[in-house]
Chains A and B, each alone.
Chain A
Amino acid sequence: MPQVWFVILALFLLLYVILDGFDLGVGILSLTASSEERRSILMTSLGNVWDANETWLVVMGGALFGAFPLAYATILTALYIPIFIMIFGFIFRAVAFEFREHSNRKLLWNTAFGVGSFLAALGQGFALGSIFKGIQVDAAGHFTGTQWDWLSWQTLLVALTLIQGYVLIGSTYLILKTEGSLQQTHYRTATLAAWTTLIGAGLVTVLTPVLYNQARERLLERPLVYIFALIPLLAILLIGLLLRSLRQKKEVEPFVWTVLLFVLSFMGLGLLIFPYIIPPSITIYQAAADPSALVFMLVFIGFLIPIMLFYEKQRKAPGF
């Protein structure tokens, strides 16, 4: 049962990262937009999707709370500051959508939107970096570290890489959704972001096994070692395809390759962490709620998952 919930949560998180990823990426990109008009176009391109995209974060939070209460409690306590950085970022972002519609000073709220997106991505990046690095806990799984554990050059590297990844998927989304000179701009930002993401991801991939014993052992475990060898190769292939599609000015392909790249990195991360949920010591079995709770939640949420996915697909359908 804990495994089922691990997979469900991973699915929610993946959906979230992809959907809100381009959202946040577009937000960060809006900070660099050359004119107020462009900034407005970037924001309106998200007008009817951001709230639904953010839903996946709400769903994820609730499901983590219910299925793995210990992990929810420990991780959120350990990451107090990055979580609040993210939350404050989201607050600015969410209200910026409403307020700019009614405001005469669009610049103020457009900036709030961009800065909010950046802060949200930054908080998430530090949180992700801390998961890589591991969270210090006692035998019962309670946090024993200090309030600044999440801040180090390793976590900063992960945070910057994640931001680059979001910028990449945001750029390819905009290539898909815009035309003319705006689209040309984003071919450039996408290419740039593809390279910076590649460098960041490369560093993270190399440094993780070097720095963290547990990750190294995990990586060298058979038969997983073959999969772990395959992932970077596939990633390089995907980035190659992505860069080629960008050079050829394809409209849809860059987004597709980027999404696949996200899925691939995500699988790599999942395999690296599994079966731990608070790396490096608490497994999903230790952190899981009572089996009856897991079944109860599955009965209620399980049947909704196909509906939610179907609806997500419909919402993206042309004409809306």
Chain B
Amino acid sequence: MAHFLDTVVLSRIQFALTSSFHMLWPVLTTGMGIYLVLVEGVWLRTRNISYYHHARFWTQLYLLNFGIGVASGLPMEFQFGTNWAPFSEAVGDFFGSILGFEGSMAFMLEAGFLGIMVFGWNRVPGVIHYLSTIMVAFGANLSTFWILTANSWMQTPVGGELVNGKFVVKDYFAAIFNPAMLNSVAHMFLATLETSLFVVGGISAWYVLNRRHPEFFGKSLKIALAVAIVVAPLQIAVGHESALHLRENQPTKLAAMEAQWETLPAGEPAAYTLLALPDSEHEINPWSLEVPYGLGLILDLQPNLQKPVLGLKDFAPENRPPLIPLIYYSFRVMVGIGFFLAALMLVSTVQWLRGKLADDQITGQTWLMRAWLFAAPLGYIAVEAGWIVREVGRQPWTVYGLIRTSDAASHVPATDVLGSLSLFTAIYGILFVSALHFGRRILLHGPNLELPPPGLGSQSARTEMVPDRRPTEVSA
């Protein structure tokens, strides 16, 4: 029970809780931002009012997610100081600057233009509105860029060195373009987009299954599918790149992901343990299901390994990640979902080409629609599982190879952390349930297909200030 009054453990739990909760919301707003840009672009080009209604409908979900994203994101920024003060002090020169960029460039853009995107339909010209939508999407993705840059630097810290416990930066651009950066940013960018596409598609499938506006939602599903055709396979390729990259830069993480205790030398065949029961105490997998030559084929596309894969036993126990089974299975969950979504995309594309997704056919595709509905939450699960692999796999380091997590935590009383952690748990619980409740309400309400397009009888909203009404379909 002493664990529960250990500041480092509690701070880690708190950070894990707040970051994994926070992440749920920007994942959708970041990806859906691009979807909205797409839909509004088609509306402006074709003037087909259905696309205008799409933009309005999905914006409501966007806004709900944005609000919770901001609310849960604020603690993230401040926790570095409250709970991880030694870390902040040691790496502030670089890490702090990057967080500063995120706030001043990215969040500023997103929050600033969001007002126009949501309230501006009838107040600003269409081009300005479209520009705002683009800026909101751009801002959100710029956030991903900076946050993942900061995080990937923690995975592969280059561009300077630790001098008297302080990271002195020699080359900022080397630190920004650290070895993990491009891959991390790409992987997360695709993850947000893929999650959003399958959320939009899954919700659309739900409407189709319920025979509510099937032609309307068939359209949004097809837009999502069209983008997924590119995104789903690309994500698998980028994910594969990540594994290759880990072999070079974070061997302990790769070993933990594969529950690999012994080193596999180069030039020899290596099996892939598809499933296993890792036993950290005895440093073996007492049970495993192996695919012969699998690891060699995965990493080097040939049965024999080209470079060695280091095993966990090569590292002192205090330098190995904890919770090997968690990392091992989280990785498999993420990969499994990635392949499932790609397969769903393939099947759906085939059906689309066969004309089965046409307005008069789509309601007949019960099984396919059910699969899409089932897929709606999978992206989130994959993102969370991936994040566990990424962050738990980096342990016991906060900055890989440089700063240990146990040295990074603030010296605040454990009772304080226990207090804030309990409040977070309670409040986030309420927020999660409320978000589902209100999200459901938006969905049950459905799109407002009567909404007149901008410029028709809507000039009255311009002059008076209070009350400032939301889109009519929301306040109705």
Contact = CB atoms under 8 A, between A and B. Distances in A.
B103 interface: yes
B234 interface: no
B64 interface: yes
Given A65-B100, A73-B86, A301-B101, A98 B438 contact: yes
Given A59-B104, A102-B438, A289-B96, A45 B466 contact: yes
Contact of B111 (A51, A61, A76, A297): A51
A72 B91 CA distance: 12
Contact of B68 (A77, A98, A103, A147): A98
Contacts of A67: 96, 100
A73 B470 contact: no
A88 B423 contact: yes
B71 A91 contact: yes
Interface string B93-117: 1111111111111011001101110
Contacts of B466: 41, 44-45, 177-178
Contacts of B420: 80, 84
Chain B CB within 10 A, most for which of A49, A54, A63, A102: A102
Interface string A177-215: 110000000000000000000000000000000000000
B67 interface: yes
Interface size bucket, B side? 35 or more
Contacts of A102: 64, 438, 441-442, 474
A147 B416 contact: yes
Nearest to A95: B71
A63 B86 CA distance: 18
Interface residues of A, number: 67
Chain A contact residues, majority secondary structure: helix
B457 interface: no
Interface in A35-70: 40-41, 44-45, 47-49, 51-52, 54-55, 57-59, 61-70
Given A52-B111, A87-B78, A91-B71, A77 B412 contact: yes
Given A41-B467, A51-B115, A58 B77 contact: yes
A217 interface: no
A293 B93 CA distance: 5
A63 B120 CA distance: 31
A58 B92 contact: no
B469 interface: yes
B405 interface: no
B181 to A, nearest CB: 16
A264 B470 CA distance: 37
B467 A63 contact: no
A90 B71 contact: yes
A47 B120 CA distance: 13
A80 B416 contact: yes
B287 interface: no
B156 interface: no
Given A98-B438, A99-B434, A84 B99 contact: no
A126 to B, nearest CB: 14
B89 interface: yes
A55 B103 contact: yes
B344 interface: no
Nearest to A311: B112
Contacts of B77: 58, 61-62, 65
B103 A59 contact: yes
Contacts of A143: 85, 411
B467 A87 contact: no
Contacts of A178: 465-466
B222 interface: no
A292 B93 CA distance: 9
B280 interface: no
Contacts of A224: none
A110 interface: no
Contacts of A296: 97, 169, 172
A11 B52 CA distance: 40
B100 A59 contact: yes
Contacts of A79: 82
Contacts of B172: 292, 296
A41 B70 CA distance: 23
Contact of A95 (B73, B88, B124, B431): B431
Interface in B137-183: 168-169, 172
A45 B81 contact: no
Contact of A77 (B74, B410, B423): B410
A74 interface: yes
B43 interface: no
A290 interface: yes
A293 B97 contact: yes
Nearest to B415: A147
Nearest to B438: A102
Interface in B390-438: 410-413, 416, 419-420, 423, 427, 431, 434, 438
A304 interface: yes
A280 B381 CA distance: 48
A305 B85 CA distance: 28
Given A40-B467, A54-B111, A98-B67, A75 B81 contact: yes
Contacts of A99: 67, 434, 438
Contact of B416 (A75, A81, A101, A319): A81
B454 to A, nearest CB: 15
Contact of B465 (A45, A51, A97, A101): A45
A91 B81 contact: no
Nearest to B63: A98
Nearest to B85: A73
A139 B200 CA distance: 56
A300 B101 contact: yes
5 contacts: A48-B119, A59-B108, A74-B89, A98-B67, A301-B104
Interface of A: 40-41, 44-45, 47-49, 51-52, 54-55, 57-59, 61-70, 72-77, 79-81, 83-84, 87-88, 90-95, 97-99, 101-103, 143, 147, 177-178, 289-290, 292-293, 296-297, 300-301, 304, 308, 311, 315, 319-320
Top 3 A-B residue pairs of the complex, sorted by shortest distance between their CB atoms: A69-B92, A76-B81, A65-B96
Given A55-B108, A95-B68, A147-B412, 9 more contacts: A40-B467, A45-B468, A69-B88, A73-B89, A102-B441, A143-B85, A178-B466, A304-B108, A319-B123
